Amino acid sequence: MALLQIAEPGMSAAPHQHRLAVGIDLGTTNSLVAAVKSGSAVCLPDENGRVTLPSVVRYLSDGQIGIGHEALAEQPTDPLNTVSSAKRLIGRTLADLSQEAHYLPYRFGQSSHVVEINTRHGIKTPIEVSSEILKALKTRAEESLGGQLTGAVITVPAYFDDAQRQATKDAARLAGINVLRLLNEPTAAAIAYGLDNGSEGTFVVYDLGGGTLDVSVLELSKGLFQVKSTNGDSALGGDDFDQRLFCHLLEQLGLSQLNDQDSRLLLSLARRTKEDLTAHEQTLIEAALSDGRQVRATVTRQEFQELTRHLVQKTIEPVKQALKDAGVSKADIKGVIMVGGSTRMPHIQQAVATFFGQTPLNNLNPDQVVALGAAMQADVLAGNKTAGEWLLLDVIPLSLGLETYGGLAEKIIPRNSTIPTARAQDFTTFKDGQTAMTVHVVQGERELVSDCRSLAKFTLRGIPPMAAGAARIRVTFQVDADGLLSVSAQEQSTGVQAQIEVKPSYGLDDDTITQMLKDSMANAAGDMAARARAEAVVEAESLLDAVAAALELDADLLDEAELTAIRSSIAALEGRLKNGTAQDIRAAVSALGASTDNFAAKRMNRNIQRALAGQSIDDI
Ligand code: ADP
Ligand code: MG
């Protein structure tokens, strides 16, 4: 059951054994990579010293891919080919998104089981977009740490369901990253704080990022660090504050029909204004619209806080629910950890402080705390630290169950169960002679299957025919340490076994992923072959030049047969240069080299004789 073992700080392994492992906060808005260096976790900066990488990918017209700051900067001018907030889409379908999709500028594809975005590079899934961000962070880490990564701990919101976790893992696989494990973001934050403080008691992690709110109740006691409950809102974050301010600006400036470019411009101005108002009482907004109109407005912090008060209040509901689920009251909370860039806003700090009647903990950078905790975890999992005294247990966020007769959902593993976990329940047939049974796996808290999320469906066949109610079918649910589920079913009563296992399906099936991996490897192999060929061509051409020059000077040294042999080797090599592989070219180079050995020896002699002519032995 022990999931994570976290060592005391400073107990790292000998430097020569140090394995390069990083923590990656793959955020909706910003992503970061951190590593433990000389015993403490630090975020790794890019070549310009910036640690946050905007989670934005742009597919450029020259075939290149822009990632991060440059992609974000160009988003207003190229919204269709610039994908942001891929995390909101990963592991989901268009049907899951329903309303949300209307606000996004993309040209969505038709697939009903995966979100597809049409870009000028063709169809891209959120998995591929995320993998570009992960690749950029991997490169950054390898350059900064000076070696190949052993693996990474990647964080996900506690709210992520199975499909979203699986999709995140696939994105890492596509980026060539070995996932040591997925870690819930609030848990990572708690690791960063927990190790620093070494405190005991019940803590709340309040994480308000760009796109999501995550609330977790954690308990530290006798060296056991346990997540008691999680709650939140996967569609509430800083973006909503931007949106609110944006709408206000439209009204205030009397702007109605803005084109896409101007909307994007104004939205990014709204975000900047919001961030500015964290430190300033008021801010002046000035912008030039695409039709040349100049707009100008002043927003005060007071105004902004009024406009967004309902959003702030909305974040408190999941806090109450998480406390309720954990069976604790406000008074039991020893500390509140603030995570996510949006917790910088003073009215968020105030609201949380007022609710809990205490000042939240915010001495670590709220943008970085998740990545730092993940890095500490990665360091432990990579084996750089010896097992310490902290034990950390995670929980599943939503109940898992299956459909029973009448469209009802029967819960097998209730939400907030500690993982990894496995539970089995026996079911039976309801018709005489029934030989097959469909197992429909669902996730959610509701009673009716139609209100839950469908994860997978499979049929168990080969049940021996018997009277209704006589067969005993044991269905086992298993959730691994990453929160991923597998389900199996087995007929028990007769000793005849029929069993099937499923991984819950989501957008991309295994074959597709495998194909994508193959494609990327095939390309990589192609690239290497091209380079090897280019090198061989250079070598061949310089040999051909040298032989041609030698023949011009000294062909008279060769008899007819020798000359013919060399000429045919030259012709063979020239032929290979046109369409041979690197290997073919190298073989022909060696053959030409061999056929000219004797010629080279004769020339050497002649040159020596020439050099010696007219000189006495004493001069040498
Ligand atoms: P995510 O976890 O979603 O990737 P982050 O934790 O990086 O997001 O938070 C990003 C959000 O934080 C954005 O909405 C951004 O506007 C907001 N933010 C960053 N700095 C500030 C600030 N100084 N004041 C208010 N909001 C901020
Ligand atoms: Mg975050």
- Closest atom of ligand 1 relative to the 208 alpha carbon: 6
Round to whole Å and give the CA distance between 549 and 290.
65
CA 497 – ligand 1 centroid, Å: 54
CA-nearest residue, atom 22 of ligand 1: 275
Round to whole Å and give the CA distance between 465 and 452.
32
Round to whole Å and give the CA distance between 187 and 214.
11
CATH class as words, domain 524-612: mainly alpha
CA 158 – ligand 1 centroid, Å: 18
Q: What is the mean pLDDT of each run of 10 residues along the chain (620 residues)?
A: 26 51 95 94 95 97 95 90 92 81 82 88 95 97 93 88 88 92 86 67 93 86 68 89 95 86 88 96 94 93 97 97 94 94 97 97 92 91 60 65 82 79 82 84 78 78 83 84 78 66 47 54 60 75 85 90 93 91 90 88 76 49
Residue in this structure with the two tokens 């038709």, named with its chain if needed? 110
CATH class as words, domain 21-237+308-395: alpha beta
With a CB cutoff of 8 Å and minimum separation 6, the contacts of 564 are none
CA 312 – ligand 1 centroid, Å: 14
> Which residue from 117, 141, 142, 149 is spatially nearest to 130, judged by alpha carbons?
117
Ligand 1 proximity of 186 Cβ (cutoff 6 Å): no
Ligand 1 proximity of 341 Cβ (cutoff 6 Å): yes
Delimit the domains of the chain by residue range. 21-237+308-395, 238-307, 398-507, 524-612
- Secondary structure element (H or E) that encloses residue 270, with its range: helix 260-279
Q: Are 166 and 503 in contact (CB under 8 A)?
A: yes
Round to whole Å and give the CA distance between 245 and 520.
42
> Which residue from 518, 225, 203, 423 is spatially nearest to 330, judged by alpha carbons?
203
Ligand 1 proximity of 345 Cβ (cutoff 6 Å): yes
CATH class as words, domain 398-507: mainly beta
- Closest atom of ligand 1 relative to the 238 alpha carbon: 14
Tokens of 38: 């000389």
- Secondary structure element (H or E) that encloses residue 74, with its range: helix 69-74
Round to whole Å and give the CA distance between 49 and 263.
30
Domains 21-237+308-395 and 398-507 share a fold: no
Dihedral in degrees, nearest 10, Cα atoms 86, 90, 96, 100 = -10
CA 238 – ligand 1 centroid, Å: 6
Q: Which amino acid is at 263?
A: S
Handedness of CA 461, 463, 467, 471 (dihedral sign): negative
Quickly list DSSP for 364-375. Answer: S-TTTHHHHHHH
Round to whole Å and give the CA distance between 183 and 481.
9
Tell me the catalytic residues: 25, 87, 185, 207
Q: Are 87 and 54 in contact (CB under 8 A)?
A: no
Terminal-to-terminal C-alpha distance of the chain: 84
Classify domain 238-307 by CATH number. 3.90.640.10
**Mutational test site, ligand 1, from 24, 28, 29, max ligand atoms within 8 Å of CB:** 29
